[in-house]
Structures are given as structure tokens and as C-alpha cells.
């Protein structure tokens, strides 16, 4: 194992020989790190935390420490992180709380830029990008391939739909629709389809056409949300993407940004 002499690793931590642990890193008890991870320097990881393979932690990131929740009393809640993630400088990721299910969980192939905060009980899907100083309150769900822009505060219990894009500096207090673009300069409205992002992810023109039609019905027609959903459900061959959009809206507790 490549461990700098100033690093401190608890004897109970599981760190494979393939990992590289840089200067002044601290790995506490009840931490399990996967193969080929790198902690550049001054990284702190506390447990219980389970870290997957090939993750790279940049200086001064704080991983798996207790949640910033007044109800937290030191319970052994957990953090789980998948594989091939990049976690940049000064990122903070907290463990879960008992009342929130006890788990904060991140998927794989995620880019978390500097100064981002991921609070307790958040669930982050694969291939998510969180830009500099994006801030998630507790219990936030970010679905796969979503992008959260720089300096975006996200209210607790909000869901951010798959393949959505949130512009920088946008305050999010309601659920963000899948496949959408949302930005503060538009009055915090969904202002259309994230068509460029969908093309980059390999969506066919036909899939994008169906989603675009659904957005016209949902956002640009004179129908209210319930009427728009009923119209979409009545249409044949709407596709699985539109079905997912309908399900997302119907299951929203906080309401969606339209």
C-alpha cells in the first residue's frame, strides 16, 4: 500500500494495497475502501462508510462525517459510494440519519466539483454532475445523468429528475422534471427540453420527439397538470420516457417546477 507517513489509518479500516493515501489523510474506524482509490492529501473519511473502487478524493474533502441535523445523537448511520467517482476539493458528504433511513448513497461515475455539499439521507444516481458549491439539503434524490449547476441550493426532500439540467445559481424548492432545463434567469421555470443532453446520451430522434411532445402538452398547453397528464396517458405509443415523466409528476409530494 502506498501510504504517506503522515497519514493516519485506523487499524480496523479496510484499505487494499492498491490504494494511494497521501499526506495528512485520516481514515477512521468502520471504513471500507475499494481497490485503486486515491486520497490526494488532507482527506478525512469517517464511518460507517463503504467506498467502492477507483474513486479519487481531492484535498480537504470531508467524507462520511455525522450529519448536520439537530436530531442526530451519534447513531451508526451509513454512507455508501460506488465506483469511478471524482470528488473535488472541500466537498462534504454526510452520513444518513435514523429518521431518514440511515443511509446516504452515491452511485458511480459521478463528478462532484469543489465546495459541493451533500447532506444526510441523499440518494445520488450514476453519471450525475454537481458543479462548484451546489448544495443539497437532506433527503434529496438526484436521478441518473442529472446536472446540478454551480451555486445551486436544493431544498430538502426535493427530487431532481433523470437527464435534467439546472442552470447555475438556481434555488430549487420543488421537484425538477426529468429531461428538463431549469434556470433562475427564467424565473426558476422549466423552460424546455434538455435536447442537447439527450442527444449526447444517445437518445434517438424519435425518443426525443415523443418527450418534446409530452413537454408541449405539460408546459405549453392551456391544460392544468391533471388534464395534461390524462391527455398524455390517453395517447398510444407514448414510450417509456413519457411514462417515466408521467410517473414522476404523479408521485411528486412537493410539486414540480413547470
Residue positions annotated with a catalytic role: 120-121, 138
Contact 173, 155 (CB under 8 A): yes
Q: What distance in Å separates the CA atoms of residue 47 and residue 33, rounded to the nearest whole number?
A: 11
Strand segments (E) across 114-246: 117-118, 123-124, 129-130, 135-136, 141-142, 147-148, 153-154, 159-160, 165-166, 180-183, 189-193
Contact 82, 56 (CB under 8 A): no
Q: What distance in Å separates the CA atoms of residue 45 and residue 24, rounded to the nearest whole number?
A: 12
Non-local CB neighbours of 255 within 8 Å, separated by 6+ positions:
174, 175
Amino acid at each position: 500500500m502506498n501510504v504517506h507517513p503522515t497519514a493516519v489509518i485506523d487499524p480496523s479500516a479496510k484499505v487494499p494495497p492498491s490504494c494511494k493515501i497521501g499526506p495528512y489523510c485520516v481514515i477512521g474506524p468502520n471504513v471500507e475502501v475499494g481497490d485503486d482509490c486515491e486520497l490526494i492529501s488532507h482527506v478525512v473519511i469517517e464511518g460507517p462508510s463503504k467506498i467502492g473502487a477507483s474513486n479519487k478524493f481531492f484535498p480537504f474533502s470531508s467524507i462520511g462525517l455525522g450529519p448536520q441535523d439537530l436530531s442526530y445523537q451519534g447513531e451508526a448511520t451509513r454512507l455508501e459510494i460506488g465506483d469511478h467517482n471524482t470528488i473535488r476539493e472541500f466537498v462534504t458528504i454526510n452520513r444518513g440519519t435514523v429518521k431518514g433511513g440511515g443511509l446516504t448513497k452515491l452511485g458511480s461515475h459521478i463528478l462532484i466539483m469543489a465546495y459541493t455539499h451533500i447532506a444526510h439521507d441523499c440518494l445520488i444516481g450514476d453519471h450525475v454532475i454537481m458543479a462548484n458549491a451546489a448544495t443539497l439539503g437532506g433527503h434529496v434524490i438526484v436521478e441518473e445523468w442529472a446536472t446540478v449547476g454551480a451555486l445551486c441550493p436544493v431544498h430538502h426532500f426535493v427530487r431532481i429528475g433523470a437527464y435534467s439540467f439546472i442552470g447555475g445559481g438556481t434555488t430549487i424548492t420543488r421537484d425538477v422534471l426529468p429531461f428538463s432545463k431549469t434556470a433562475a434567469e427564467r424565473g426558476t421555470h422549466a423552460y424546455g427540453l434538455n435536447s442537447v443532453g439527450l442527444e449526447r446520451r444517445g437518445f434517438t430522434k424519435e425518443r426525443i420527439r415523443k418527450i418534446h411532445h409530452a413537454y408541449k402538452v405539460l408546459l405549453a398547453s392551456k391544460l392544468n397538470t391533471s388534464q395534461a397528464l390524462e391527455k398524455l396517458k390517453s395517447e398510444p405509443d407514448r414510450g417509456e420516457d413519457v411514462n417515466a415523466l408521467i410517473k414522476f409528476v404523479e408521485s411528486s409530494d412537493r410539486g414540480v417546477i413547470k
